[in-house]
């Protein structure tokens, strides 16, 4: 099963950078995150990344995941995503994705763009979101130095505490299940995230993110 449709124009001409990160057209890297929900509880599994100088997501929640990397083999983008996502999820929340076959892309939205500083350079990343519902409320445990906390949370209680990119992704995923009151409370934080991600998308000539309510 293919993990995503690789025919989107902005997914063409992928290349692997010297550090192994999969990149598009030289202007942005490709990242993948996994939205993990316990049954239909609206409780999602989040991590907090270790502090990095210049990182916009310091002390904020994010979905487990990271950059898509190549192991040097000539494989499809879907295969690279699956391998990279499995490695990051195992390291960040100790969840073995080999036990789960129902991972699917969160479809219907343009790519969401993140920006950060690494090794003194401003970098932009297209974040591809995937979703998984699990029946057992596992106790997450970070096994990687880049993560200092992992926990289950309901986004409706902490929109402003989620990174802008993951804030939009969580809203896309949950919007149809929110009440009118919950949507109204979420909108200011989501409008802020939309503004930031739109600016980052314009820098790399990619489609702008859309509002969850549009």
pLDDT tens-place values along the chain, 214 residues long: 345 666 677 777 788 888 888 888 768 999 999 999 999 999 999 999 877 766 667 788 999 999 999 987 788 888 899 999 999 999 999 999 988 888 999 976 777 889 877 777 788 899 999 999 999 888 998 888 888 899 999 999 899 999 999 999 999 999 999 999 999 999 999 999 999 999 999 988 888 999 999 8
Q: pTM for the full model?
A: 0.91
Domain count, the chain: 1
Distance CA 14, CA 6 (A): 10
Domain assignment present for residue 109? The answer is yes
Domain assignment present for residue 31? The answer is yes
Question: How distant is the alpha carbon of residue 163 from its chain centre?
Answer: 10
Distance CA 11, CA 213 (A): 26
With a CB cutoff of 8 Å and minimum separation 6, the contacts of 146 are 49, 50, 91, 92
> How high is the pLDDT of residue 142?
87
Domain range for 136: 9-203
Q: 3-state secondary structure string, 70-123?
A: CCCCCCCHHHHHHHHHHHHHHHHHCCCHHHCCCCEECCCCCCEEEEEEECCEEE
Domain assignment present for residue 80? The answer is yes
Rg of the chain over all Cα atoms, to the nearest angstrom = 16
Domain assignment present for residue 1? The answer is no
Domain assignment present for residue 121? The answer is yes
Domain assignment present for residue 133? The answer is yes
Residue 204 to residues 10, 34, 55, 199: CA-CA distances in angstroms? 10, 24, 19, 9
Domain assignment present for residue 178? The answer is yes
Residue 36 to residues 65, 110, 134, 176, 211: CA-CA distances in angstroms? 11, 20, 7, 17, 22
Domain assignment present for residue 46? The answer is yes
Domain of 60, CATH number, reads: 3.90.79.10
Residue 152 to residues 78, 117, 149: CA-CA distances in angstroms? 27, 27, 10
């Amino acid at each position: 099963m293919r993990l995503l449709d690789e025919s989107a124009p902005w997914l063409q001409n992928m290349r692997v950078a010297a550090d192994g990160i999969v990149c598009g057209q030289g202007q942005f890297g490709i990242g993948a995150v996994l939205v993990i929900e316990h049954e239909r509880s609206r409780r999602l599994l989040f991590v907090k990344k270790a502090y990095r100088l210049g990182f916009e997501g310091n002390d904020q929640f994010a979905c487990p995941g990271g950059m898509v990397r190549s192991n040097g083999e000539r494989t499809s983008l879907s295969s690279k995503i699956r391998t990279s996502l499995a490695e990051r999820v195992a390291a960040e929340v100790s969840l073995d994705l080999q036990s789960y076959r129902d991972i699917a892309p969160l479809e219907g939205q343009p790519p969401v763009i993140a920006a950060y500083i690494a090794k003194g350079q401003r970098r932009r990343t297209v974040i591809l979101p995937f979703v998984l519902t699990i029946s057992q409320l596992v106790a997450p445990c970070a096994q990687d130095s880049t993560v200092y906390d992992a926990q289950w949370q309901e986004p409706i209680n902490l929109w402003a505490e989620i990174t802008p990119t993951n804030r939009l992704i969580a809203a896309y995923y949950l919007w149809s299940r929110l009440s009118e009151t919950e949507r109204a409370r979420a909108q200011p934080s989501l409008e802020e995230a939309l503004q930031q991600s739109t600016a980052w998308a314009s820098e790399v000539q990619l489609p702008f993110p859309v509002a969850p309510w549009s």
